[in-house]
Structure 1
Amino acid sequence: MTNQTYPKNAWYVAAMSEEIGLEKPLGRKVCGERIAFYRPKPNEVAAVLDFCPHRGAALSLGYVEDGLLVCGYHGLKIGEDGKTKAMPLQRVQGFPCMKAYAVEELYGFIWVWPGDQSQADASLIPRLEWAESDDWAYGGGLYHIKCDYRLMIDNLMDLTHETYVHASSIGQKEIDESPVSTQSEGDEVITSRYMENIMAPPFWQAALRANGLADDVPVDRWQRCRFTPPSNVMIDVGVAHAGKGGYDAPKEFKASSIVVDFITPENDDTMWYFWGMARNFKADDEALTDSIREGQGGIFQEDLEVLEYQQVNLKAFPDYDLLKLNIDAGGVQSRRIIERLIRTEQDSSKLSKNGIVSDLKVEERPLQTISF
């Protein structure tokens, strides 16, 4: 079996909706697949292999005309099914069909299935309740990061690093002084940390003020990180005035949000990081959304630097056996789920190639809390 590092039979966020216009396609590599995304019509999206069957040019460098993707090299026109539809002075019936990808536009994102297209099922795209309600506002962005996507999962499932990497915004000493709990629920992993009767750090002081709450009184703070395969992490974070119920405090006593993290492998060493924050207070305040986006973007920029240097170090010392501590349990369990999905995918592919048809059943073993 190959040393595959990511599942391919899954839905990944490939782009934000606004990245794909009506006239110009978008080229992006997802899980090692070079894909050209374009809009055959308004509010529709298609995805085909970013390869022209004529001379191998990148179709994403072309343009869209009459619902077809036109190669910018010699004018070959390809449809959303991957078939060549026309080319100047050429009969195209015998042209090879390029791979077309299952693609969906939902919640303001473009989702693609890079693996076996026969297994693509739009109902498997995770439901985002915050994206379906007008009571929530969302603002986010995109970073291209030169690191293994699993390093970002590790980073987000253990927020102890906030004390040190984000000391000027969301970090505080009480984070690494508070125990973290790690649990699994099927294919999901949840890490939780609660801090009581502390002072809010700068970012959360600003959030309290924005929500019309005092920012100079003790608060209860929480962080609940949820990993969902293949590589999504949603983090329920917030603060409430101390003694008002913490995580379960009434809305009028707290400021809370969901940190949104869609982590998409480009290849083994690089990734696309779609980050953002959804909040359910002052949802119609666009200036507040912009302010939070700017602040959060700066915070994640700090992560980017750490992770890219970490990738360089791990490449330089491939035989070093890294320590695993209690705070690493969330990342460890998440990686185990990823590894199991990859094994299942590879076993299924092997059976298919050998012409074996069977009802393959993979034993499901519940993952338990890890103690190191």
Structure 2
Amino acid sequence: MSSQPSWPVNTWYVACTPDELTSGPLGRQIGGKQLVFYRNGDGKVVALADFCPHRGAPLSLGFVNVDGDLVCGYHGMVMNCDGSCKSMPGQRVQAFPGVTAYPIEERYGFIWVWTGNAEAADPALIPDFSWFDEPGWTYGGGLYHIRCNYKLMVDNLMDLTHETYVHASSIGQTEIEEAPPESFKDGDTVVTQRTMENISAAPFWKQALTFNDLDPEALVDRWQISRFTPPSHIMINVGVALAGEGGIDAPADKKASSIVVDFITPETENSIWYFWGMARNFKADDAELTNTIRESQGKIFAEDLEMLEAQQRNIDDNPDRDLLKLNIDGGGVLARRMLDRMIKAEQSGA
């Protein structure tokens, strides 16, 4: 990995979900750093460099003991939560140099890690997704490991024109590419939005209308509003409403809508951890519906995975080829410019 990463460092990234920590320590590379995550005796999540100070074994191959300490699985080195060496059978190791501990926050059903200067880690800098915790909302999602640069996924989600082709059997329809998107900055975020009026619903949205007790064959007004928050969080307000009922502002009983949740965490220059899901505020207590939507959405995002990995291979094989930019790429271009400014400021010491 280059000494100058292509992503912001002094920022919060989604590292994992709580259920990934139920069976012991979790090793995961985040932003080029090999980290280990576990819960200590107080139930608090801890993140350390995944490197035993004794012989360099991954601490993630160890276990959490009854006291909530992380024990190396090679020779039994026990680590403190601050990364210092606590003990080792038959040895005096308290003076050993320890490993880096990383700031952690557990919020909105995810584990967030700060990968840069720990003194700058301010929990208030985690974007506000408070609707995760609001009554009447529910969420279902998953995780994909994708072999592509994280900016390619940002491009993908800030330009939904590809739905017509990549997702033709689910959320795609020709009306998407016929409706020009509008892209603009909104404070510290980038927004790309598109609306389509008086059209037939795509297959996925026909299903959603049915779930919401609406006629799946009715003409609808459809919207897509992608909002990028650096470093790599994208929330997409999507939905359909019965035609002429106000679109996104239609009464709840006249529409089916949700928020597509996208947390993109760089692993390396050419791989990411992609936390995907959908939050909705209709029939929130219907667990079977949540599972049905999760399964359907997972298939849709698997199509993105296949395309993005093939795209990355092509780019790697053709390093001298420039990628073209069209009007549909406006949101991705603005997002990349915002990221480039953040990265340049970090690397210049600003």
* TM bin (shorter chain): over 0.9
Distance 1:168 1:282 in 2: 25
Contact preservation (8 Å) 2:84, 2:94: no
1:303 is aligned to 304
Q: Match for residue 37 of structure 1?
A: 37
Given residue 29 of structure 1, which amino acid in structure 2 is its aligned partner?
Q
Q: Please say if 1:211 is aligned against 2:212.
A: yes
Name the structure 2 match of 1:279.
280
SS of 1:19's equivalent in the other structure is helix
Contact 1:241 1:253 survives alignment (8 Å): yes
Q: CA-to-partner distance for each residue in 1:92-124, whole Å, 9 max, x for gaps?
A: 122002100001111110000011111101111
Counterpart of 1:88, as a letter, is: P
How far off is 1:41 after superposition? 2.8
The residue aligned with 1:363 is none
- Deviation at 1:196? 0.0
Residue 185 (structure 2) pairs with residue 171 (structure 1) = no
Residue 202 of structure 1 aligns with an amino acid whose one-letter code is: P
Which residue is equivalent to 1:79? 80
Distance 1:209 1:236 in 2: 19
> Which range is displaced more, 101-110 or 190-199?
101-110
Runs of 4+ that moved beyond 4 A: none
Whole-Å separation in 2 of the counterparts to 1:260 and 1:274: 8
Structure 2 counterpart of 1:252: 253
Partner of 2:139: 138
Give the drift of 1:286: 0.3
Q: Structure 1 residue 42: deviation in Å? A: 5.5
User: Partners of 2:254 and 2:309 in 1: how far apart?
Assistant: 39
Instruction: Give the Cα–Cα distance (whole angstroms) in 2 for the partners of residues 79 and 158 of structure 1.
Output: 45
Q: State the SS of the aligned residue for 1:266.
A: strand
CA contact (8 A) 2:4 2:347 kept: no
Q: Distance in 1 between matches of 2:131 and 2:310?
A: 34
| Structure 1 length-normalised TM | 0.92
Distance in 2 between residues matched to 1:298 and 1:305, nearest whole Å: 11
**In 1: Cα distance, 2:152 partner to 2:129 partner:** 24
Deviation digits for residues 32-90 of structure 1 (CA, Å, limit 9, x no counterpart): 01000000036410000000000000000000011210000000000110001000111
Match of 1:127 in 2: 128
Deviations 1:242-275 (CA, angstroms, capped at 9, x unpaired): 0000011111100000000000000101000000
| Structure 1 partner of 2:48 | 48
Residues 1-372 of structure 1 mapped to structure 2, 5 A cutoff: 2-21=3-22, 24-41=24-41, 43-65=43-65, 66-348=67-349
Q: CA deviation at 1:319?
A: 1.0
Q: Tell me, in whole angstroms, the C-alpha distance in 2 between the residues paired with 1:118 and 1:55.
A: 29
How many residues were matched structurally?
348
**SS at 1:154 equivalent:** helix
| % identical aligned pairs | 60
CA distance in 2, matches of 1:53, 1:199: 61
Give deviations 1:165-201, integer Å, cap 9, x for gaps.
0000000000000010001012210000000000001
* 1:3, distance to aligned residue in structure 2 (A): 4.2
Q: Could you say which residue in structure 2 is the equivalent of 1:353?
A: none
Give the distance between the partners of 2:238 and 2:130, measured in 1 at CA.
16
